[in-house]
């Protein structure tokens, strides 16, 4: 049994029989020896955290799977490959501080303290040659290190979703789209999914959620500018509120939102690429080939048009939020 249960909280009474609660109980039953060894190694290689950090299991440069909420995603959360304590032996030390598209508090604090930091955004704006000139100038001027934020220094192509696609196209001169999902209609469906036990036990609640979706879509169509402002504010893209809204508008129609009849067509057996029965085999085969699933499932058992059918009969979902050029049914 675990000799340290302080890592595990107590689920609320109404959640004590949930899958999450069961997972906590099973994890709590495991020995904590491996966890202790990993956290001690993280503190040794990543430097012990500042006194202001209450959780003493977190290191200054947190890397790896543990703690779950602290480790960064760089290099797939791989364990440390360098001892941070040896950084002073070099003229230039390279650390990663995560994503470039969102301003980081660490960057702000370090700059206020006079530390030289070149983020990936800085490098894209000034060019790699200028960035290296600055790094070398500072590194040879009596300083111990230049702080560079690089997760990837050069790639020939990347697979990204919006808004990252539009951000990259805007910030990287000469970049262009090689292939996008318009060439694969129906192969990337966004689905509303419930567990079977929820559908069986609470069909009225499920119907309420589907109805609310179509109510939202109708409001979106009637108030497109207000809707975009809400979504842009939630996305928190860089720039002023006005710039965020303009940026969001530039790509929002890239996602085709189905109205009720179009959704029913997706639930209907046909040879059209937007039918789930037509796209399902290739999607599941792809997931199997990429080792994302252990075997091919019978996806047809999850297709249930009941609730969309009921909504359409009530007159809901008559129109999509926009008048798209491409028709799908």
The reported pLDDT for the residue numbered 107 is: 59
| Rounded distance between C-alpha atoms, residue 186 and residue 216, angstroms | 23
| Rounded distance between C-alpha atoms, residue 170 and residue 233, angstroms | 20
The reported pLDDT for the residue numbered 101 is: 38
The reported pLDDT for the residue numbered 212 is: 96
Nearest C-alpha neighbor of 327 from the set 247, 272, 279, 270: 272
| Rounded distance between C-alpha atoms, residue 156 and residue 328, angstroms | 33
Nearest C-alpha neighbor of 12 from the set 20, 1, 2, 3: 20
The reported pLDDT for the residue numbered 150 is: 46
User: Does residue 188 lie in a domain region?
Assistant: yes
| Rounded distance between C-alpha atoms, residue 53 and residue 65, angstroms | 19
User: Does residue 18 lie in a domain region?
Assistant: no
Nearest C-alpha neighbor of 47 from the set 61, 37, 66, 68: 61
* pLDDT > 70? residue 120: no
Please write the tens of the pLDDT for every residue from 50-64. Answer: 666 677 776 665 555
- Residue 181 neighbours by CB under 8 Å, 6+ apart: 187, 188
User: Does residue 42 lie in a domain region?
Assistant: no
- Of 17-21, 242-246, 293-297, which one has max mean pLDDT? 293-297
Nearest C-alpha neighbor of 117 from the set 133, 99, 134: 134
The enclosing H or E element of 93 equals strand 93-95
User: Does residue 95 lie in a domain region?
Assistant: no
Mean pLDDT of 265-272: 92
* pLDDT > 90? residue 163: no
- Residue 299 neighbours by CB under 8 Å, 6+ apart: 276, 280, 283, 284
Instruction: For strands 93-95 and 117-118, give the pairing.
Output: unpaired
Q: Do the Cβ atoms of 252 and 231 come closer than 8 Å?
A: yes
Q: In what order do the strands lie in the sheet with 147-149?
A: 93-95, 147-149, 117-118
pLDDT band at 311 (very low <50, low <70, confident <90, very high): very high
User: Does residue 58 lie in a domain region?
Assistant: no
User: Does residue 224 lie in a domain region?
Assistant: yes
User: Does residue 112 lie in a domain region?
Assistant: no
Pick the residue with more confidence: 133 or 72? Answer: 133
The reported pLDDT for the residue numbered 102 is: 37
pLDDT band at 153 (very low <50, low <70, confident <90, very high): very low
Mean pLDDT of 309-314: 96
Residue entry with tokens 């609640």: 205
The domain in which residue 224 lies consists of 181-313
Domains in the chain: how many in total? 1
User: Does residue 225 lie in a domain region?
Assistant: yes
pLDDT band at 68 (very low <50, low <70, confident <90, very high): low
| Rounded distance between C-alpha atoms, residue 94 and residue 151, angstroms | 10
DSSP annotation of 63 reads B
> Measuring CA to CA, how many Å separate 42 from each of 2, 33, 37, 48, 65?
21, 14, 9, 8, 10
- Residue 136 neighbours by CB under 8 Å, 6+ apart: 92
pLDDT band at 219 (very low <50, low <70, confident <90, very high): very high
The reported pLDDT for the residue numbered 106 is: 55
pLDDT band at 82 (very low <50, low <70, confident <90, very high): low
């Amino acid at each position: 049994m675990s000799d340290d249960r302080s890592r595990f909280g107590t689920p609320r009474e109404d959640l004590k029989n949930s899958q999450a609660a069961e997972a906590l109980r099973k994890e709590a039953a495991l020995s904590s020896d491996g966890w202790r060894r990993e956290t001690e190694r993280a503190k040794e290689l990543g430097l012990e955290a500042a006194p202001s950090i209450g959780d003493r299991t977190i290191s200054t440069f947190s890397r790896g799977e543990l703690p779950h909420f602290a480790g960064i995603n760089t290099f797939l959360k791989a364990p440390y490959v360098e001892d941070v304590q040896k950084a002073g032996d070099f003229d230039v030390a390279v650390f990663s501080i995560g994503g470039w598209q969102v301003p980081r508090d660490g960057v702000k604090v370090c700059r206020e303290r006079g530390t030289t930091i070149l983020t990936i955004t800085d490098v894209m704006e000034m060019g790699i040659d200028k960035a290296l000139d600055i790094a070398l100038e500072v590194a040879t001027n009596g300083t111990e290190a230049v702080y560079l934020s690089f997760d990837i220094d050069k790639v020939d192509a990347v697979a990204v979703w919006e808004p990252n696609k539009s951000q990259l196209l805007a910030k990287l001169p000469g970049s262009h789209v090689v292939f996008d999902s318009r060439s694969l209609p129906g192969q990337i469906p966004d689905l509303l999914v419930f567990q079977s036990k929820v559908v069986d036990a609470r069909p009225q609640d499920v119907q309420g959620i589907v109805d609310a979706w179509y109510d939202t879509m109708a409001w979106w169509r009637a108030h497109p500018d207000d809707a975009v402002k809400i979504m842009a504010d939630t996305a928190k893209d860089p720039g002023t509120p006005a710039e965020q809204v303009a940026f969001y508008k530039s790509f929002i129609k890239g996602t085709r939102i189905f109205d009720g009849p179009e959704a029913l067509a997706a639930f209907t057996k046909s040879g059209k690429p937007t039918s789930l029965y037509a796209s399902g085999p290739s999607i599941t085969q792809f997931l199997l080939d990429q080792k994302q699933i252990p075997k091919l499932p019978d996806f047809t058992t999850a297709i249930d048009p009941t609730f969309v059918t009921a909504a359409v009969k009530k007159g809901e979902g008559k129109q999509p939020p926009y008048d798209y050029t491409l028709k799908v049914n």
